[in-house]
Amino acid sequence: MAQNLAGPEIERLIQLLARVPGLGPRSARRAVLHLMKKREELLTPLGEAMRVAAERIVTCSECGNLDSMDPCSICRDPRRDPSIIVVVESVGDLWALERAAVLRAAYHVLGGTLSPMDGIGPEDLALGKLLDRASRPEVREVILAMNATVEGQTTAHYITDMLSEAGVRITRLAHGVPVGGELDYLDEGTLSAAMLSRTNL
């Protein structure tokens, strides 16, 4: 779109919105038209929510979660079991596990996975802090909740080695058939894992 078409303000908003994951140049334009229609209900509050988030949200110095407090609400929560640390790759994975709401434990966000191809080594992840936390007397178990990818599993192996002297139980998420999943659509790796880890009825 020519610079002089709708003014630099709209053009800039479209360009920035197009960089949001899930939106592209086309959907950004459509989004801007919608935002201009919903100026009071959506555009203004959204701009303000972004300003507030940029200003207040910090990374928890304990676990790596995002929150407006440091330590974060999860680390401060007295109803959580501090003897279990769930290790995840990203804050998104932490949120996914919290939505499942299966375990009220502590978390540790690595901030990525080991990936020599991308030049990401142990020093780029929050591993020292994890060793430090896992070595505390109150911690009994570390659950490795990495993604079931090559990088995720490599990282899980590395952490297992690193924590071998820490005197904690180390576990990982079970592999198997996803709930609601159809066998016909699953890969062989998942099927053999599910078969080998079969449980009694």
Element at 101 (helix H, strand E): none
Burial 102-136 (b: 16+ CB within 10 A, else e): eeebbbbbbbebbbeeeebeeeebbbebbeebbee
46 binds a copy of itself per the rule CB under 8 A: yes
Q: Name the residue type at position 98.
A: E
How many CB atoms within 10 Å of residue 180?
Answer: 5
Query: Among the candidate windows 36-44, 131-139, 143-151, 175-183, which touches a copy of itself by CB under 8 A?
Result: 36-44
Nearer to a copy of itself, 104 or 136 (CB): 104
Stretch 85-124: interaction string toward a copy of itself, x if CB under 8 A: -----xxx--x--xx-x-----------------------
200 binds a copy of itself per the rule CB under 8 A: no
CA 66 from centroid of its chain's CA atoms: 10
Residues binding a copy of itself (CB under 8 A): 1-2, 4-10, 12-13, 16-17, 19-23, 27-36, 38-39, 42-54, 56-57, 65-69, 72-74, 77, 90-92, 95, 98-99, 101
